[in-house]
Amino acid sequence: MTLLEARGLTRHFGGLKAVDGVDFDLAEGEIHALIGPNGAGKTTFVSLLSGRIAAQAGTIRFAGRDITRDPAYRRVRAGIAYTFQITQVYAALSVFDNVALAAQSRKSRRLRADVGDALERTGLGDRADQIAGTLSYGHQRLLEVAMGLALKPRLLILDEPTQGLAQGEIEGFKEIVNATVPAATVLLIEHNMDVVMDLAHRITVLNFGEVLATGTPDAIRADSAVQAAYLGG
């Protein structure tokens, strides 16, 4: 079943065609990676999906409903959670309170339990009382993932989540993502190709704001156009 469908999605900034007529489908319960060179349009594209940036053309349907003109907060309520490329935690608040704010936004009746679950899933359970700004960069990235999980999303968008993580933390992160599906769908924007190839069921490659290829990890790895544009084959 298709959870999200984008058709002809377009966003230009002056003469820069950041996203240019992109068609894209997400299947419910999959881990789908979005890769491509720097400047390919990945972050702009997921910002269009999450409502942080308005599309100039095209449509987005989520769970069968047209959300193209919905603001970001309505998309969150519909079940789309987006963690950012740069950490967006509340530095002066505790780890617990950061996650609680996310859970409150969906009017959770099991606030403490939901927060505890999200912290345990991300390995932050023993840091609940720590001030978020004192966490290492890697732990702040995991906190942001916990905030996304606390929203109980149908779609979790992760933008460069392993940036700044140590290798041991990356292995833990992969376990978190694998445990998230099939209850939720994951869209992963990631430069670490080992992570992409280990996690993704399907991969879409963007280049100059357009879809270069979509397929399984094996198909993408073998694609000569992808090798030339991105994988260096």
Residue ranges per structural domain of the chain: 2-79+153-231, 89-151
pLDDT value of residue 11? 97
What phi and psi values does residue 170 have, to the nearest 5 degrees? -65, -40
pLDDT value of residue 52? 93
Rounded to the nearest integer, the mean pLDDT of the chain is 92
pLDDT value of residue 85? 52
Tokens 């994988």 -> residue? 231
Domain 2-79+153-231 has CATH 3.40.50.620: no
pLDDT value of residue 35? 95
Are 216 and 70 in contact by the 8 Å Cβ rule? The answer is no
The residue-averaged pLDDT of 205-214 equals 95
pLDDT value of residue 41? 93
What phi and psi values does residue 74 have, to the nearest 5 degrees? -70, -35
Are 22 and 11 in contact by the 8 Å Cβ rule? The answer is no
Is pLDDT above 60 for 233?
Answer: no
In what helix (H) or strand (E) does residue 171 lie, and over which residues does it extend? helix 167-180
169 pLDDT band, cuts 50/70/90, is: confident
Q: What is the pLDDT of residues 91-140, one digit of tens each?
A: 999 999 999 998 887 776 789 999 999 999 999 999 999 999 999 988 99
